[in-house]
Amino acid sequence: MRQAWDIFCTVVDNYGDIGVTWRLARQLVAEHDLQVRLWVDQLAAFVRLCPGADPHAARQFCSGVEVCQWPAVWQPVAVADVVLEAFACSLPAPYLAAMQARARKPLWLNLEYLSAEDWVAGCHALPSLQSGGLQKFFYFPGFTADTGGLLREQGLLQRRDAFQQDAAQRQAFLAGLGVQPAADEQLYSLFTYECASIAGWLQQLARGDRPVLLLVPEGRALSDVWAWLGEPGLAAGAQARRGNLRVQVLPFVSQDDYDRLLWSCDFNAVRGEDSFVRALWAGKPLLWHLYQQAEETHLEKLEAFLQRYLPGLSGPAATALGQFWQAWNSALPAGESWAALQTHWPELRRHALDWSARQAAQRDLAAGLAHFCTNWL
Ligand code: TRH
């Protein structure tokens, strides 16, 4: 009998909650031969990441995962061996009662948000006693060996390398999205939140001395791009040119295609949690726009990550990159630090690739979780 897992996900906003749980669920099935149900309260968000899925099906199998609509009124189901709640979502009360009643108690985990802060290692995998004889473990993704690690599928970096070394594959992929870069154009992608820094950055790109094709997937940053272009409502497929900058709006694609997009670009501006990790694995220079939190705690998370990412860069490159990320995350003008970055591209490219290789030497999140659960059960 395969070990059974129930993963619970509430979509708070955006795509990160479902993005992480869908990726994890797929990997647990594909690489660890587990039987996984993924309970999602908003199938519409899931369907954006997995085009072709049915937004109305109560249950459906996608990539071997049983994707279930988390119903408003819970219907009894057998409790799984492992119950994973993502990002502190509350389990349905009747399901929790069934967990307490189960003769052999399930393993209950809460998957936490990603942070590079030092305290994470001290809290990772700590249990807390719950009512009904249950224990809940707090599982923290992270960047060091004493945390839960990052989501990374087997062979991901090899697939990335094969793709990046095959110009025809890249060209065919981009052509499928309607993207035809000129030979001398740099390719950038922009998937951040709305930000006051965007307009100045676009201005800088338009005035810059190298031609840039900026790909903007449909989403929150688009409103700032529209405002700067003075062309509200540009939809997927539309293009505009200002100076040396060409802008093209892209449709939202599947997670696997989004990886290929990141691999195809020379620079990726990403956000939140999952697109950030994927951009790190892409091994290309990047900008991380963090999910804004009360009392600016996201700025502490940014500093913690910079301390892990900047070592290995020369002083001037590290300063320019750090200042660019800090400016963007504080919604301040970022043009000056962007300009300062321009002389460091070869170094930034090398660093991004090296960093991804070093990070990939650690155990991935799904493997760590599967191991943890098998040991416990
Ligand atoms: O959508 P997000 O802003 O999600 C956020 C963060 O996870 C944040 O930490 C959390 O608190 C908040 O949600 C509730 O950013 P993120 O995490 O990058 O998720 C985006 C997902 O969308 C990711 O799985 C990649 C995917 N994606 C595609 O599949 N296709 C696309 O075309 C694009 C642009 C993204």
3-state secondary structure of 238: coil
Ligand 1 center to 15 CA (angstroms): 4
Closest ligand 1 atom to 218 CA:
34
Q: Identity (one letter) of the amino acid at 228?
A: W
Residues facing 109 on adjacent strands: 84, 137
- CATH 3.40.50.2000 segments of the chain: 156-359
Select from 124, 166, 167 the least CA-distant residue to 144. Answer: 124
Catalytic annotation, pick one of 85, 273, 274, 364: 273
Catalytic-residue membership of 17: yes
pLDDT at 185: 97
Closest ligand 1 atom to 87 CA:
11
Closest protein CA for atom 4 of ligand 1: 16
pLDDT at 198: 98
CATH classification number, 156-359, choose in 3.30.1490.190, 3.40.50.2000, 2.40.37.20, 3.40.640.10: 3.40.50.2000
pLDDT at 187: 98
Q: Is 91 left (phi over 0), alpha (psi -120 to 50) or beta?
A: beta
How far CA 68 is from CA of 50, 57, 87, 248, in Å, comes to 14, 8, 18, 35
Task: Say whether domain 4-151+362-376 belongs to CATH 3.40.50.
Answer: yes
CA quadruple 214, 20, 47, 43: dihedral, nearest 10: -140
pTM value > 0.95? yes
Catalytic annotation, pick one of 17, 85, 112, 259: 17
Ligand 1 center to 20 CA (angstroms): 8
CA 277/CA 33 separation, integer angstroms: 24
Residues of the chain with pLDDT under 70: none
Closest ligand 1 atom to 275 CA:
18
Tokens of 30: 């594909």
pLDDT at 376: 87
Is 36 in contact with 67 (CB distance < 8 Å)?
A: no
Closest ligand 1 atom to 14 CA:
1
Select from 144, 165, 148, 134 the least CA-distant residue to 264. Answer: 165
Question: pLDDT tens digits, residue range 8-54?
Answer: 999 998 999 999 999 999 999 999 999 999 999 999 999 999 999 99
Question: pLDDT tens digits, residue range 184-198?
Answer: 999 999 999 999 999
Residue to probe by mutation, ligand 1, list 12, 13, 14, most atoms within 8 Å of CB: 14
Ligand 1 center to 377 CA (angstroms): 32
Residue to probe by mutation, ligand 1, list 26, 225, 274, 298, most atoms within 8 Å of CB: 274
CA 118/CA 196 separation, integer angstroms: 30
Ligand 1 center to 272 CA (angstroms): 6
Catalytic-residue membership of 273: yes
Residue to probe by mutation, ligand 1, list 40, 260, 273, most atoms within 8 Å of CB: 273
Closest protein CA for atom 29 of ligand 1: 255
Closest protein CA for atom 8 of ligand 1: 272
Read out DSSP for 314-338? Answer: -HHHHHHHHHHHHHHHTT---HHHH
Tokens of 3: 């070990």
Ligand 1 center to 19 CA (angstroms): 6
CA 138/CA 196 separation, integer angstroms: 36
Ligand 1 center to 184 CA (angstroms): 30
Ligand 1 center to 278 CA (angstroms): 10
Q: Which residues line ligand 1 (CB under 6 A)?
A: 12-17, 19, 49, 113, 191, 217, 219, 252-255, 258, 271-276, 291
